[in-house]
Chain A
């Protein structure tokens, strides 16, 4: 089953003087449970592609379908609910809320979903334990290392049991060891729990984790490689 489908998608930024085709006519699909790595040089459109799939941005042309639903047909509230319930985001810069503790950061998506306090606390603790942060639950982001912060971000991304995990250079700011830890957690989610993963990276070493590697150049798909 296709969880993500792009049909002839363009994302064009126009100013008075020039035009940038960040995504230049991409069609692709991702099946349920797939682990897709998107690679390409800077400016190739990787992050833009991820933002379009994550409903953070809208295409200039073409269709983006999530679970078979055309996202352009959804209003802001429906898109918000889709991001909240179906998609989990992991960013290169972690993007935690600095005033909240690790536990509270993980609870946040569940608060937005109006889960009860007890329910969300239990789930947040369980998630933090699963990423190895049981001792850091009450720390604020600035009291944690980059690797720890990224693990909190992963726990937050998984809070509402998303079907799709979108990772934008998740190891980009981490040392090798922390990077491996993070990748192991993501792989675990994919292999054990069947979460579909789309991961954008510069790092060729991460290609080994994927079922499929898509290479982008100048907003176009250069190649699709299936990893056996």
Chain B
């Protein structure tokens, strides 16, 4: 019955109630839609990092006197649970000679398959049998083209491809380097393995693999150092969450305005209904009953506004994602939809808090004063 009473009171001033609902609706929509977009953006950025996030970089512990990683240890790591793939890399700094220039550059030894997976050729095709691929910056500096010949450590190699700029990577930086097959590398250098790229089966297993490597390989002496790229992912995650919170705080100003409008219309309603409050008090309504009726009205406004606002925020988020990220599917991820629930709850909270003061004021009216009010 109180619910019914509250509903009818709101219907009595339809336009006013509608305006309050619109206020809450806009506020909830702004908060949720921005939350959805922020979360979508984060997910989109993180997806770019996902292929390296499950990587661990293992390097020899130079401080302890280990220059290379032993083949025996590599085989042991390959057999550890949770390890999907191990890419063993050798690298050395050697003199390279072209027709025009002489320069020192980093030479990597890698399997052709791994190079194809990790990098893209800008010119030519990646082929490592008797030939090499050259990083973009080195190629520009030493004027190297596809099919030109370069001499590395006294041996001549044909350039099969120039690689695309790979940006800043945490494992291998081929921009100023040359990549050879392991067989060819042995002809020019006798160094051992200088780095392992260990891929875990999944992101969740990264920590386990890291611990396993440290336990098994470093059991007696600290032979290797293990660095996981997951930590970078966590930092990005953190940064985006902060940005998102900031954006939502800005959006919530509109909710604050909506709260003030509810406060306003409920205060007006309290004054208009002073006599009714007096009647109810005269026939046996407690102060708390009056408080409840008014709070119920605020709650109804909040529920309707937040409900519609939430639905519209999904539509709004969809459109923003479509325009800015060109992929609206991010909207429907559980982590994104959480912002809809969050917006809904905040909307109701604002409505009820705004209704508190008018409701309290109504409940404090003295029955006789209220009855005399015309």
Contact surface of A with B, Cβ cutoff 8 Å: 51, 54, 56-57, 76-77, 80-81, 83-85, 89, 91, 95-100, 104, 107-109, 111-113, 156-157, 160
Contact = CB atoms under 8 A, between A and B. Distances in A.
B89 to A, nearest CB: 79
A83 B282 contact: yes
Interface residues of B, number: 23
7 contacts: A77-B286, A91-B371, A99-B5, A99-B12, A108-B280, A108-B283, A112-B283
A83 B284 contact: yes
Contacts, number: 63
B5 A109 contact: no
B281 interface: yes
Contacts of B5: 97, 99-100
A216 B8 CA distance: 42
Contacts of A100: 5, 8
B243 to A, nearest CB: 48
Contact of A89 (B8, B9, B283): B283
Contact of A99 (B2, B9, B283): B9
A183 B293 CA distance: 34
A57 B368 CA distance: 6
A54 B279 contact: no
A56 B12 contact: no
Interface of A is mostly: helix
A84 B283 contact: yes
B369 to A, nearest CB: 9
Contacts of B287: 76-77, 80
Given A51-B368, A56-B367, A99-B5, A80 B280 contact: no
A56 B367 CA distance: 6
Interface in B2-27: 2, 4-5, 8-9, 11-12
B276 A97 contact: yes
Contacts of A109: 283-284
B118 interface: no
A85 B285 CA distance: 11
B284 A95 contact: no
B47 interface: no
